[in-house]
Structure 1
């Protein structure tokens, strides 16, 4: 019996070059609110109040994003004269949050400026 050999003919079809998909980011106006406080409960209540106010006017919100707590430690001698090893440490903690508001309308900005927040809460607002 004669042996049959099968040959495969493979034709290379040129692939269509795929264009790289690059999302063109539109120039998005962004309002970045950075909130700081010594007490985290007061900070969380203030952030909730800011978010509720912005959502009431239909703003798009990203956050709140918790940032690392900044800890400042102070070491003080307990005794005035001899007892060098007797010391106390005190610390101050600064809790931080960041909220981004995308494409804020004028009424959102006006509502946020008229917002009454408790004392001890520091707010930095930047337009990006």
Structure 2
């Protein structure tokens, strides 16, 4: 391949799904001669929403909701065409977003 490595970024709300899908990717790549670095945990993105509980007044009574996005990165070095075909065959759950950059 033209580039030195393949960078795979995984994002999701559930960290257990991210860990399982990263294990699947690493197991698929280890069968080839490519070297794997990762999964490297990246900083989580935490968003907090505050909502007033009552419909009209009493703004001091608020309810907080939070959304946490977990991220992981996997680097694959010395990738061949066999490595890419095995990566395409990996079944990843619906709650995980995958970005692949070569």
TM-score bracket relative to the smaller structure: over 0.9
Three-state SS of the structure 1 residue aligned to 2:90 is coil
- Residue 51 (structure 2) pairs with residue 76 (structure 1): yes
- Residue 25 (structure 2) pairs with residue 41 (structure 1): no
Q: Report 1:42-57 matches (<5 A).
A: 42-57=17-32
How much is the aligned-residue C-alpha RMSD, in angstroms?
A: 1.2
- Residue 71 (structure 2) pairs with residue 101 (structure 1): no
CA contact (8 A) 1:46 1:118 kept: yes
Higher relative contact order (CA 8 A, sep 6+): 2
- Residue 61 (structure 2) pairs with residue 86 (structure 1): yes
CA contact (8 A) 1:28 1:102 kept: no
Three-state SS of the structure 1 residue aligned to 2:23 is helix
- Residue 5 (structure 2) pairs with residue 30 (structure 1): yes
Question: Aligned equivalents of 1:124 and 1:91: distance in 2?
Answer: 24
Question: Aligned equivalents of 1:61 and 1:54: distance in 2?
Answer: 7
Aligned equivalent of 1:62:
37
How much does 1:58 deviate? 2.5
Runs ≥4 residues deviating over 3 A = none
Say how many residue pairs are matched: 101
- Residue 85 (structure 2) pairs with residue 122 (structure 1): no
How much does 1:113 deviate? 1.0
CA contact (8 A) 2:33 2:78 kept: no
In our comparison, the structure showing a higher alpha carbon Rg is 1
> What TM-score do you get using the length of structure 2 for normalisation?
0.94
